[in-house]
A and B are shown apart, each in its own frame.
Chain A
Amino acid sequence: MTGEQIVFLVVAFVTLFAGLMVVTTRNLVHAALWLVAALFGVAVTYVILHANFLAVVQVVVYIGAIAILFIFAVMLTRRDMRDQGPQMNKNWWFGAVLAVLTFGGLYFLLQGWEGMTKTATSYPVGFDAISELGNALVSPAGYVLPFEVASVLLVAALVGAVYVAFNPRNGNSGK
């Protein structure tokens, strides 16, 4: 077993454990912090995959922005957080069964696929993935349309979110 494999296994188990804590912890702020741990684990996975840009974007976007947004949202909807009643709904066992079935089914399907045991070719020396990525994102032969549409999508999300959450006609906006 190589060092890379050991690192991967440790990171994978930590990430999965953190993921389990996310879905089972009662305290929602703790759940959000466990989510940060899980997302950091995913960032390390990107590093092992040589996807530097994805790794750092993962930290900047998820930990720097999305986790903060979650914590703010938890604080805004605090009154329900007093952990009254169960955090799980009545059918939680059904969800558990379905999740296990999904995992089993995926595992079964993947076992039957011949590309499964593929190993990676060694990473080309001096290959600059970021500049390739820049090329792919803005060259007309590449993904320029998805790139611009992503911008439109985010602006639409901003406009929609601002409108939905804080429409003055909904009554008590701002406190």
Chain B
Amino acid sequence: MNPWIFVGLFFVVGLLIPVGAIGIAWLLGPKKPNPIKQSVYECGIETVGESWVQFKAQYYIFALVFLVFDVETVFLFPWAVKLGALGLFAVIEGIIFILILVAGLVYTWRKGMLEWA
């Protein structure tokens, strides 16, 4: 039997349990909404402007650097699995791969893009 069936079962049960818990709580709890209760919680101060504000670009930079590193590190996993059997040549290839990656990090760093300013 395909082992992924069990992974699927974990997804199903993992979703059922919180759905069940929230569902039971929804059945048991009182439901008396009013505008004050439902207002956005901002320490008792009236909300100013829209809530979906615009963000600073630095978040995007970190997500960008993360994306590149994430993809490249994931690619290293098949290399790591096979490393024991492949010998020194493969190790050197992997090191070149990582060094190229680190060069990108150094560039970003030198450009001052890793500063939270």
* Whether chain A touches chain B in the assembled complex (some CB pair under 8 Å): yes
- Nearest first, the 4 A-B pairs at minimum CB distance are A134-B82, A134-B78, A155-B104, A65-B67
Q: A53-84 CB contact bits vs B (8 Å, 1 = yes)?
A: 10001001100111011001101101101000
Q: Which B positions have Cβ atoms within 8 angstroms of A? A: 4, 52-61, 63-68, 70-72, 74-75, 77-83, 85-86, 89-90, 93-94, 96-97, 100-101, 103-104, 107-108, 111, 113, 117
Given the complex of chains A and B, what is the CA–CA distance between A75 and B59 in angstroms? 10
Is A72 within 8 A of B71, CB to CB?
no
Is A166 within 8 A of B65, CB to CB?
no
Is B104 within 8 A of A174, CB to CB?
no
Is A76 within 8 A of B68, CB to CB?
no
Q: Which A positions have Cβ atoms within 8 angstroms of B? A: 47, 53, 57, 60-61, 64-66, 68-69, 72-73, 75-76, 78-79, 81, 130-131, 133-135, 137-140, 144, 147-148, 150-152, 154-155, 157-159, 161-163, 165-166, 173-175
Report chain A residues within 8 Å CB of B74.
Answer: 57, 60-61
Task: Using known A-B contacts A134-B82, A139-B86, A148-B93, determine if residue A66 contacts B101 with beta carbons closer than 8 Å.
Answer: no
Is B66 within 8 A of A147, CB to CB?
no
Give the residue name and chain of the B residue nearest to A66 (CB): B67
Majority DSSP secondary structure for residues of A touching B: helix
Q: Of A60, A135, A166, which is within 8 A of B86 by CB?
A: A135
Is A137 within 8 A of B78, CB to CB?
yes
- Excluding A53-B78, A65-B66, A138-B93, 14 further A-B contacts by CB distance (< 8 Å) are A68-B63, A72-B63, A81-B52, A134-B80, A138-B89, A139-B86, A147-B75, A148-B100, A151-B100, A155-B103, A162-B111, A165-B60, A166-B57, A173-B57
Report chain A residues within 8 Å CB of B82.
Answer: 131, 134-135, 138
Kindly count the residue-residue contacts between A and B in the assembled complex, taking CB atoms under 8 Å apart: 131
Q: Of A47, A76, A134, which is within 8 A of B79 by CB?
A: A134
Is B97 within 8 A of A148, CB to CB?
yes
A153–chain B nearest beta-carbon distance, Å: 10
